[in-house]
Amino acid sequence: MIQTARLRNLTDAPVRSEGRYVLYWMQAAQRAHGNAALEYAIAQANELDLPVLVAFGLTGFPEANARHYDFMLRGLAEAKRLLTRRGIAFVLKKQPPEALIRTLAADAALVVCDRGYLKVQRTWRAKLADGLDRRLVQVEGEVVVPIDVASAKHEYAARTIRPRIHRVWDEYLRPPEEVAVRRPATELAFESDFDLDRPEAIVAGLKVDQAVGAVKRFPAGETAARAQLERFLRQHLARYGDERGKPEAGVASLMSPYLHFGQIGPLEVALAVRDSGVSEGVATYLEELIVRRELAINHVFHATNYDSYEVLPDWARRTLADHAGDERPYLYSRAQFEAGATHDPYWNAAMLEMRATGYMHNHMRMYWGKKILQWSTGPEEAFETALGLNNRWFLDGRDPNSFTNVGWLFGLHDRPWGPQPVFGTVRSMGANTFKKFDAPAYVREVERLAAAEGDQTR
Ligand SMILES: Cc1cc2nc3c(=O)[nH]c(=O)nc-3n(C[C@H](O)[C@H](O)[C@H](O)COP(=O)(O)OP(=O)(O)OC[C@H]3O[C@@H](n4cnc5c(N)ncnc54)[C@H](O)[C@@H]3O)c2cc1C
């Protein structure tokens, strides 16, 4: 049973029992297990004695490049294999999703979709719902607490959303029950537009930024995600509380690329952590995974200009404008930042980690971004540089977390601090950062990781 707070009818149209299948439009939740929308579709299909068809529309996604598509397509190839094993049909077409789903809906009893919070995801769902003569049910499985339950308004900071989430999270920390398919999709034959067993060939044919290549550090797909989660629970969770601020310690879970592409769900991760039997680290981890991540989602949902400088709080824009004329200790262009060509070896190492491996430790992300603010000609240019690089190179970029955390660099979800040149009262980060961890060890680790990737992304 999926909790009713996770369900929303996006059309009032009826279920058409004469349909040939129940159609699940897979978009945000790209996995065959631990997927509330999929389990809901199966349960509905079982009641109607129909098979399930899962469809994916491959289309241009803002800022997506070869690195992102490679990871996504490898994950979808695995999802297809696992769905087939469960008796579910899968089709992928090179088409805008709302157009593909509208066509396939003509033979569906009802359509089920997952929920996404970015503008493009919301627009697709609204376009599909417009005039659709089948019931369209949205299932919200990519957050622990459904966002409208957590809060009906744009929250100010972690401290304002935290008590609201804590109040209800036990109620929502329940996995979607896996439902066996009653009617296997043997009679449904749909041809995909691509051979998913050859993701490199598909990516090579896409008109996207090919200069940002695939990475080896993160093997794609839900099995890899679960293996990494297991490793984290066994080896690192107990140290996470004390050492998560140390980039060289390697105790982060590396879940963010998998969460971004829906190759694993936050409920599965949260439950595994809560029930791990480890006592240390659990509360700190759940704070990041649930409170911080869902605060970011609250932000992009309520502030649809999340990708523009104007989204920042008034006090922050005012103080940054007051200090726009301050002399910068160093000045770099976006190209110099992107090349990792600053005077600072730690900053350059962070940029190398990002470029070569698609990831950076949270603590270094903070330092990396604060220095872009300090070393750019003005705060608006710094915002564009930070967001542009973030979304280009990170596998987990283009996420609610991307927009919200880049905003945080410029005062979002934060409060005024003691005034500093350039930053004004926006929080700064300086040389003290490196007193708290072994920065040379971090640089060595990045060099090792980058060498393991080979030359193509450097
Ligand atoms: C400037 C800047 C840019 C960032 N850009 C992104 C981005 O593009 N995509 C992205 O997913 N995260 C981003 N973050 C947030 C955070 O750094 C990453 O989520 C985290 O480092 C991912 O690694 P992990 O999964 O190993 O994290 P862990 O420390 O293991 O945390 C587990 C999970 O908790 C969540 N989480 C952790 N820290 C935060 C945070 N500060 N805010 C919200 N959720 C959090 C993530 O879902 C993460 O996967 C950014 C942070 C900063 C300061």
Name, in order, each residue with C-beta under 8 angstroms of 150's C-beta and a sequence gap of 6 or more.
143, 161, 164, 165, 168, 294, 298
Residue 112 has a pLDDT of 98
- Tens-place pLDDT, residues 247-287: 999 999 999 999 999 999 999 999 999 999 999 999 999 99
With bands split at pLDDT 50, 70 and 90, how would you rate the model's confidence at 50?
A: very high
* Ligand 1 proximity of 291 Cβ (cutoff 6 Å): no
* Ligand 1 proximity of 252 Cβ (cutoff 6 Å): yes
Q: Ligand 1: which of 68, 243, 256 to mutate, judged by most atoms within 8 Å of the beta carbon?
A: 256
Which residues does residue 23 pair with via DSSP β-bridges, in sequence order? 53, 111
Task: Please give the distance, rounded to the nearest whole angstrom, from the Cα atom of residue 189 to the centre of ligand 1.
Answer: 40
Task: Please give the distance, rounded to the nearest whole angstrom, from the Cα atom of residue 85 to the centre of ligand 1.
Answer: 33
* Ligand 1 proximity of 298 Cβ (cutoff 6 Å): no
Opening angle at CA 131, ends 127 and 132, nearest 5: 85
Q: Ligand 1: which of 286, 362, 390, 403 to mutate, judged by most atoms within 8 Å of the beta carbon?
A: 362
Half-sphere exposure for 142 (CA within 13 Å, toward CB): 26
Task: Please give the distance, rounded to the nearest whole angstrom, from the Cα atom of residue 289 to the centre of ligand 1.
Answer: 8
Residue 455 has a pLDDT of 63
Residue nearest ligand 1's atom 48 by CA: 256
- Tens-place pLDDT, residues 356-377: 999 999 999 999 999 999 999 9
* Ligand 1 proximity of 360 Cβ (cutoff 6 Å): no
Question: Residue 202 corresponds to which amino acid?
Answer: I
Same domain, 284 and 333: no
Domain-located, residue 298 = yes
Say how far apart CA 127 and CA 102 lie, in whole Å.
Answer: 10
* Ligand 1 proximity of 363 Cβ (cutoff 6 Å): no
Q: What domain count does the chain have? A: 3
3 state SS of 161:
helix
- Tens-place pLDDT, residues 9-21: 999 999 998 999 9
Residue 458 has a pLDDT of 46
Domain-located, residue 417 = yes
Residue 135 has a pLDDT of 98
Name, in order, each residue with C-beta under 8 angstroms of 258's C-beta and a sequence gap of 6 or more.
218, 222, 224, 225, 228, 264
With bands split at pLDDT 50, 70 and 90, how would you rate the model's confidence at 335?
A: very high
Residue 453, pLDDT above cutoff 90: yes
- Tens-place pLDDT, residues 4-49: 999 999 999 999 989 999 999 999 999 999 999 999 999 999 999 9
* Ligand 1 proximity of 394 Cβ (cutoff 6 Å): yes
- Tens-place pLDDT, residues 165-185: 999 999 999 988 999 999 999
Sign of CA dihedral 176, 177, 183, 184: positive
Say which CATH number the domain at 162 has. 1.25.40.80
Residue 310 has a pLDDT of 98
Name, in order, each residue with C-beta under 8 angstroms of 123's C-beta and a sequence gap of 6 or more.
none
Q: Ligand 1: which of 288, 307, 367, 403 to mutate, judged by most atoms within 8 Å of the beta carbon?
A: 288
Domain-located, residue 206 = no
* pLDDT-above-70 percentage for the chain: 99
Q: What are phi and psi of 377, to 5 degrees?
A: -65, -30
Say which CATH number the domain at 333 has. 1.10.579.10
Atom of ligand 1 nearest to the CA of 292: 43
Domain-located, residue 404 = yes
Task: Please give the distance, rounded to the nearest whole angstrom, from the Cα atom of residue 308 to the centre of ligand 1.
Answer: 20
* Ligand 1 proximity of 401 Cβ (cutoff 6 Å): yes
Average pLDDT along the chain: 96
- Tens-place pLDDT, residues 385-407: 999 999 999 999 999 999 999 99
With bands split at pLDDT 50, 70 and 90, how would you rate the model's confidence at 141?
A: very high
Residue 8 has a pLDDT of 98
Domain-located, residue 152 = yes
Write down which residue in 302, 320, 339 finishes a domain.
302
Write down which residue in 275, 302, 329 finishes a domain.
302
Same domain, 293 and 156: yes
